[in-house]
């Protein structure tokens, strides 16, 4: 069994240089300024091993606040326009659908799982989910993951 992850908010000026350089290398890669990890680590003066050690565990604080991704599971009636209504609902409330997967309908119901970036939602998460649940053709809507 995996131990529960713990997070700490730490001032940048007390972080080891290797962690700060990892953040800089990630920024270079994300911006497209460099194409490979090797180029990024050379540019910031960091070893590849240090980059790989820290890359999945350190993020700028503002990036953590912006990334509010939820996975929503829906049971939808197999009728024309139901999924379209759901997608419109999400867009009208400022959500951005990142991924979507729909199963083949069985006994008149299809299961849809979608990842939604909620950073710019115009309603709170409870109202968002309750409103989705009230859409014609939506039998069930619930959050199954958050990241």
- Model pLDDT for residues 137-147, shown as the tens digit of each residue: 999 999 887 76
For 132, the domain range is: 67-146
Residue 72 lies in a domain: yes
Domain count, the chain: 2
Q: Based on the domain organization, do 59 and 104 belong to the same domain?
A: no
Q: Based on the domain organization, do 28 and 57 belong to the same domain?
A: yes
**Calculated CA dihedral for residues 70, 76, 82, 85, nearest 10 degrees:** -20
Detail the DSSP E strand segments found in the chain.
69-77, 96-102, 109-117, 138-146
pLDDT confidence of 48, banded at 50, 70, 90?
very high
At 99-135, the pLDDT tens digits run 999 999 999 999 999 999 988 888 888 889 999 999 9
Residue 1 lies in a domain: no
Q: Based on the domain organization, do 54 and 71 belong to the same domain?
A: no
Residue 3 lies in a domain: no
User: In angstroms, rounded to a whole number, what is the distance separating the alpha carbons of residues 114 and 110?
Assistant: 13
Q: Which pTM value belongs to this model?
A: 0.55
User: In angstroms, rounded to a whole number, what is the distance separating the alpha carbons of residues 3 and 6?
Assistant: 9
* DSSP state at residue 106: B
């Amino acid at each position: 069994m995996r131990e529960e992850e713990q997070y700490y908010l730490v001032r940048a000026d007390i972080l080891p240089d290797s962690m700060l350089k990892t953040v800089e290398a990630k920024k270079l890669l994300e911006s497209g300024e460099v194409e490979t990890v090797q180029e990024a680590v050379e540019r910031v003066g960091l070893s590849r091993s240090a980059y790989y050690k820290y890359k999945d565990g350190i993020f700028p604080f503002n990036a953590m606040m912006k990334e509010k991704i939820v996975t929503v599971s829906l049971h939808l009636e197999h009728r024309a326009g139901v999924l379209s209504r759901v997608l419109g609902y999400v867009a009208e409330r400022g959500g951005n659908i990142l991924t979507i997967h729909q199963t083949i309908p069985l006994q008149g119901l299809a299961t849809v799982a979608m990842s939604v970036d909620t950073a710019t939602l115009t309603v709170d998460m409870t109202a968002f989910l309750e409103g989705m649940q009230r859409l014609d053709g939506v039998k069930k809507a619930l959050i199954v993951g958050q990241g």
